[in-house]
């Protein structure tokens, strides 16, 4: 590692050990670097910071000690150093001590090195001159990670006055740590995940952590408009470019110069526009529609999609060269059903945040309803959960909300499905079952209302739901009394 180091200085202790609950605990740091000067410099910092240090110039010697029982609290490893079998030392360490945070030592903040370090499991990356404050703060963040996991803390990161990034699981904490590293680079980022998993929130978080956080963050939904309109939206146009273009208009790329553009649902972008987007990403230049001059911009691109992008490439619906251009680094957001430990925390967060908006005091969701939330798959992910909590705050009816999550078997008064064809249902099985549930519920409510001569309170009591829930469902399913009949309380 060819690194220039600062002149020795009078280091002051007392930054790293505060990450531990006991004042008498001395963090044990493992150093692995080839250059003796680097080892001496880092060792002097860590000793002054009241750390115990085990340092090695040879990766094989370090790993023999690790296999023999050496258990450091944190490791600082040359990101380019390799072991005897050619395996990068950082990746080798992560295999032996997967729960111990590792900081990659790099001679350059070249995005390629950052991506490599993240892929090998680095919790952070630091570069020369290995400033004491940078090293101490990096180590403290890494050392606090296990404590935060043990305490199951929720971390809320405000992005806008109305939007926050909520982190409350190990998986999302790992993604957040990776975002912190990627934000310092200008690499394009691709975010994959189902609809409603929080792709736009993650994109906004990366922008806020980047050096261009004070510049614009603009979103373009690539699936919301036809190709011609989308092209003019992205690139802008000059007067006369098409019918109705009476004056020039800058596009989103131009407006977002030195900022971040978020291309949502890029997998749905029309193929005719993908080639033009590729050119913009390659050299940062383009021309407005109908224009003759070339415009050059410096824009960070974050793209997102909920489709299987590799399948789209195989089916020639998405350009392979564009995929590699936007995929400088990719994040895959797991669906809510694969991180159900977040549900209780998110429910409390949504109730607290939206309680004031709906004039409801913060309440604790009953254990039975919360357990039903844990059992439900949430195909709409975070967006569906948020809307569920909104309805809960508005209706205040536990039984009605429970019925949404655990549909009861249709009663004997409900009509049976007489016939099912062998054709694949539009929207898939989940959509079909949702439609069947809604139709059945509407028919049962309508039948009981008719039997009770449209007496709504009596009907609500018989159906064992609140009066407010019945009114909500009547409006939802458009259930109206026939001519000559008047609904009564």
Q: What is the CATH number of the domain that holds 60?
A: 3.40.50.2300
* Same domain? 210 vs 94: no
Q: What pLDDT, on the 0 to 100 scale, is given for residue 418?
A: 38
Question: Is there a domain that residue 488 lies in?
Answer: no
* Same domain? 139 vs 164: no
DSSP state string for 76-99: EEETT-B-TTS-BHHHHHHHH-TT
Question: Is there a domain that residue 124 lies in?
Answer: yes
Structural contact between residues 200 and 265, judged by C-beta atoms closer than 8 angstroms:
no
Question: Is there a domain that residue 112 lies in?
Answer: yes
What letter does residue 488 receive in the DSSP assignment?
B
pLDDT for 169-197, tens place per residue? 878 888 888 888 888 888 899 999 999 99
Q: What percent of the chain has pLDDT over 70?
A: 83
Q: What pLDDT, on the 0 to 100 scale, is given for residue 25?
A: 58
Structural contact between residues 182 and 118, judged by C-beta atoms closer than 8 angstroms:
yes
| Domain stops at, among 311, 332, 353 | 332
Structural contact between residues 448 and 463, judged by C-beta atoms closer than 8 angstroms:
yes
* Same domain? 224 vs 141: no
* Same domain? 161 vs 267: yes
| Domain stops at, among 296, 311, 332 | 332
Helix (H) or strand (E) holding 253: helix 252-255
Name the pairing type of β-strands 189-192 and 300-305.
parallel
Rounded CA separation 115/122 (Å): 10
Q: Which residue has the higher pLDDT, 50 or 253?
A: 253
Which of 219, 218, 290, 284 lies closest to 248 in space, CA to CA?
A: 290
For 427-436, what is the mean pLDDT?
A: 60
CATH number of the domain encompassing residue 174: 3.40.50.300
For 426-436, what is the mean pLDDT?
A: 59
* Same domain? 344 vs 321: no
Q: What pLDDT, on the 0 to 100 scale, is given for residue 8?
A: 37
Q: What pLDDT, on the 0 to 100 scale, is given for residue 6?
A: 45
Residue 480 has pLDDT above 80, yes or no: no
Structural contact between residues 233 and 225, judged by C-beta atoms closer than 8 angstroms:
yes
Structural contact between residues 106 and 127, judged by C-beta atoms closer than 8 angstroms:
yes
Question: Is there a domain that residue 484 lies in?
Answer: no
* Same domain? 93 vs 140: yes
Q: How many domains is the chain built from?
A: 4
Question: Is there a domain that residue 487 lies in?
Answer: no
Residue 265 has pLDDT above 90, yes or no: yes
Which of 13, 1, 4 lies closest to 135 in space, CA to CA?
A: 13
Structural contact between residues 234 and 278, judged by C-beta atoms closer than 8 angstroms:
no
* Same domain? 386 vs 356: yes
* Same domain? 176 vs 320: yes
Helix (H/G/I), strand (E/B), else coil: 141: helix
Rounded CA separation 405/373 (Å): 7
Contacts 24+ apart (CB under 8 A), 55-58: 55/30, 55/31, 56/30, 56/31, 56/32, 57/32, 57/33
| Domain stops at, among 94, 115, 147 | 147
Residue 455 has pLDDT above 50, yes or no: yes
Rounded CA separation 279/273 (Å): 10
Q: What pLDDT, on the 0 to 100 scale, is given for residue 380?
A: 92
Q: What percent of the chain has pLDDT over 90?
A: 32
Structural contact between residues 12 and 99, judged by C-beta atoms closer than 8 angstroms:
no
| Confidence category of residue 294, pLDDT binned at 50, 70, 90 | very high
* Same domain? 295 vs 328: yes
* Same domain? 231 vs 352: no
* Same domain? 365 vs 306: no
* Same domain? 364 vs 322: no
Range of the domain at 303: 156-332
| Confidence category of residue 154, pLDDT binned at 50, 70, 90 | confident
Q: What pLDDT, on the 0 to 100 scale, is given for residue 191?
A: 96
Residue 464 has pLDDT above 70, yes or no: yes
| Confidence category of residue 304, pLDDT binned at 50, 70, 90 | very high
pLDDT for 93-145, tens place per residue? 888 888 888 999 887 767 777 788 887 888 888 888 788 888 888 888 888 76
| Confidence category of residue 482, pLDDT binned at 50, 70, 90 | low
Q: Which residue has the higher pLDDT, 82 or 346?
A: 346
Residue 262 has pLDDT above 70, yes or no: yes
Q: Which residues contact 180 (CB under 8 A, 6 or more apart)?
A: 124, 209
Question: Is there a domain that residue 353 lies in?
Answer: yes
Question: What integer best gives the mean pLDDT of the chain?
Answer: 82
Q: Measure Cα distances from 76 to 17, 45, 87, 91, 384 in Å.
A: 16, 13, 17, 12, 42
Question: Is there a domain that residue 9 lies in?
Answer: no
pLDDT for 382-420, tens place per residue? 999 999 998 888 888 888 888 888 754 333 333 444 344
Rounded CA separation 403/190 (Å): 38
């Amino acid at each position: 590692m060819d690194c220039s180091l600062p002149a020795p200085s009078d280091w002051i202790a007392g930054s790293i050990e505060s990450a531990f609950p006991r004042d008498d605990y001395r963090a044990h740091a493992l150093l692995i670097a080839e250059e003796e000067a680097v080892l001496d410099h880092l060792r002097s910092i860590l000793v002054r910071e009241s750390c115990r240090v085990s340092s090695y110039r040879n990766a094989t010697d370090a790993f023999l000690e690790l296999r023999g029982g050496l258990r450091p609290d944190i490791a600082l490893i040359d990101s380019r150093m390799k072991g005897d079998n050619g395996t990068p030392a950082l990746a080798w360490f992560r295999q032996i001590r997967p729960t111990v945070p590792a900081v990659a030592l790099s001679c350059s903040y070249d995005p390629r090195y950052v991506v490599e370090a993240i892929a090998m499991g680095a919790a952070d990356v630091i570069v020369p001159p290995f400033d004491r404050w940078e090293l101490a703060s990096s180590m403290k963040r890494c050392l606090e990670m296990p404590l935060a996991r043990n305490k199951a803390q929720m971390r809320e990161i405000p992005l806008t006055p109305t939007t926050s990034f909520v982190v409350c699981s190990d998986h999302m904490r790992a993604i957040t740590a990776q975002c912190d590293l990627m934000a310092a680079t200008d690499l394009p980022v691709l975010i994959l995940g189902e609809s409603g998993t929080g792709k736009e929130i993650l994109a906004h978080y990366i922008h806020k952590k980047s050096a261009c956080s004070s510049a614009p963050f603009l979103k373009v939904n690539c699936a919301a408009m036809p190709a011609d309109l989308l092209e003019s939206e992205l690139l802008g146009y000059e007067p006369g470019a098409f019918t109705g273009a009476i004056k020039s208009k800058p596009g989103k790329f131009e407006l977002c110069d030195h900022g971040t553009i978020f291309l949502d649902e890029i997998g749905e972008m029309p193929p005719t526009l993908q080639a033009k987007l590729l050119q913009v990403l390659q050299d940062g230049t383009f021309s407005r529609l109908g224009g003759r001059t070339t415009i050059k911009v410096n824009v960070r691109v974050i793209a997102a999609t909920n489709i299987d992008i590799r399948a789209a490439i195989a089916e020639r619906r998405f350009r392979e060269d564009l995929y590699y251009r936007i995929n400088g680094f990719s994040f895959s957001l797991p669906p809510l059903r694969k991180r159900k430990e977040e549900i209780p925390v998110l429910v409390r967060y949504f109730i607290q945040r939206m309680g004031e908006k709906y004039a409801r005091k913060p309440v604790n969701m009953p254990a039975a309803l919360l357990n039903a939330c844990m059992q439900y798959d949430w195909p709409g992910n975070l967006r569906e959960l948020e809307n569920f909590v909104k309805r809960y705050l508005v209706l205040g009816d536990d039984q009605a909300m429970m019925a949404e999550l655990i549909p009861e078997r249709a009663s004997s008064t409900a009509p049976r499905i007489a016939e099912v064809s062998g054709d694949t249902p539009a929207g898939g099985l989940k959509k079909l079952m949702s439609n069947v549930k809604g139709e059945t519920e509407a028919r049962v409510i309508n039948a009981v209302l008719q039997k009770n001569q449209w007496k709504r309170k009596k009907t609500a009591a018989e159906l064992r739901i609140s009066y407010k829930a019945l009114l909500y469902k009547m409006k939802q399913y458009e259930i109206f009394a026939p001519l000559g009949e008047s609904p009564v309380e």
